[in-house]
Amino acid sequence: MAEGDQGACRRLVDRHLNRLHAAASRMLDDREEAEDVCQEVFLRLWKQAPKWQSGKALLATWLYRVMLNACHDRLRKRRPMVELDFEMASDTAGPERVQLWTQREQLLQQALAELPPRQRQALALCHDAQLSQSDAAAAMEISESALESLLARARRGLQAKLRPVPPDSAPAAPLTHENAP
């Protein structure tokens, strides 16, 4: 690729595009914007390839670092606004099932959006991009133990936000001096 071999570039895109796109989609919650980020990443790779120094960093680590930076740039420019995806789960699913799927997807996207950015990044790299923890940690420029901590906190946060509330468990009235035992 450093010598301008388009076939080599195509092979790298084929190898990394789906996972990069999945991680960028999770970070941005926008598939089209994630496509733009991926184009930026591979365009930058094409331009930087002649200057690549072997042994300094793994290519995959570099790709994910560039993707994370591009996502951060886009997120900083956004106005605070939550958009929910109302895609249909399946054309053959019944309306009740589609509605249930849409509601669950909305809740998940909202819960993910409420996570701190570093926790969202860790989830995107490990689950959507399917990077190993060592590669994800390198892409985020943190230790593996720090990544594990981010993942654990993110999972706990999602569980807390998505845990169903039993219908008979109405919130208790706050304890005051008037209703104290």
**What are 111-158's pLDDT values in tens digits?**
888 899 899 989 888 888 888 899 899 989 999 999 999 999 998 988
Tokens 């930026």 appear where?
40
Higher pLDDT, residue 60 or 54: 60
Instruction: Give the whole-number percent of the chain exceeding pLDDT 90.
Output: 30
What is the torsion angle, in degrees rounded to the nearest 10, for the CA atoms of residue 44, residue 132, residue 109 and residue 19?
40
Please give the span between the terminal C-alpha atoms of the chain, in angstroms, as a whole number: 75
Query: Would residue 175 count as lying in a domain?
Result: no
- The answer on pLDDT for 72 being more than 70 is yes
Rounded Cα distance between 160 and 105, Å, is 16
**Number of folded domains that form the chain:** 1
pLDDT of 169 above 60 = no
Over residues 13-42, mean pLDDT = 92
Boundaries of domain holding 125: 6-78+92-162
CATH for 105: 1.20.140.160
